[in-house]
């Protein structure tokens, strides 16, 4: 990752901007929205324990320490991935999030909630970091 930032720095003119967006590494939540109630179902794990997000943060710190970039602004935002059903969300994760691990208890809770309520939506809630960096 540090090599990629070094290469980007070489391509940018001084003062050029880089926007870094990546999950902040907090546990991703399975949530269910129904009749105005937003219920926590459980958490998604990753087989690599979200290590790539910590590595991305470290790479940014190293790029700043090396004098390639200065951090202009940092923020966080909530990112949601919606589905009509738990099984639909699981199918999406199976296809697109190869290191996602869904505990059997979480899956059972989600399916039970769907059966009990019959409506609403399920989503993943993850927090992301966004940074504006300027090439030095």
Chain segment 95-127, per-residue pLDDT in tens: 999 899 999 999 999 998 888 877 668 999 999
Q: Which two tokens stand for residue 65?
A: 């320490």
For 66-73, what is the mean pLDDT? 98
3-state secondary structure the chain: CHHHHHHHHHHCCCCCEEEEEEECCCCEEEEEEECCEEEEEEEEEECCCCHHHHHHHHHHHHHHHCCCEEEEEEEEEEEEEEECCHHHHHHHHHHHCCCEEECHHHHHHHHHHHHHHCCCEEEEEEEEEEEEEEEC
pTM for the model stands at 0.84
Residue among 123, 130, 134 at smallest CA distance from 20: 130
Phi, psi of 50 (to 5 degrees): 60, 25
Q: Which residue has the higher pLDDT, 36 or 130?
A: 130
pLDDT digits (tens, 9 = 90+) for 7-24: 999 999 999 999 999 999
């Amino acid at each position: 990752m540090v090599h990629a930032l070094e290469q980007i720095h070489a391509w940018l003119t001084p003062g050029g901007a880089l926007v870094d967006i990546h999950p902040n590494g907090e546990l991703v939540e399975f949530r269910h929205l129904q009749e105005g109630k937003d219920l926590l179902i459980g958490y998604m794990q990753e087989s690599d324990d979200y290590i790539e997000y910590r590595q991305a943060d470290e790479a940014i710190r190293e790029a700043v320490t090396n004098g390639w970039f200065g951090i202009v602004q940092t923020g966080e935002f909530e990112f949601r991935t919606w589905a009509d059903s738990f099984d639909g969300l699981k199918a999406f994760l199976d296809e697109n999030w190869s290191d996602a691990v869904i505990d059997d208890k979480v899956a059972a809770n989600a399916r039970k909630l769907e059966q009990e309520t019959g409506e609403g939506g399920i989503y993943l809630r993850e927090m992301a970091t966004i940074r504006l960096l300027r090439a030095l």
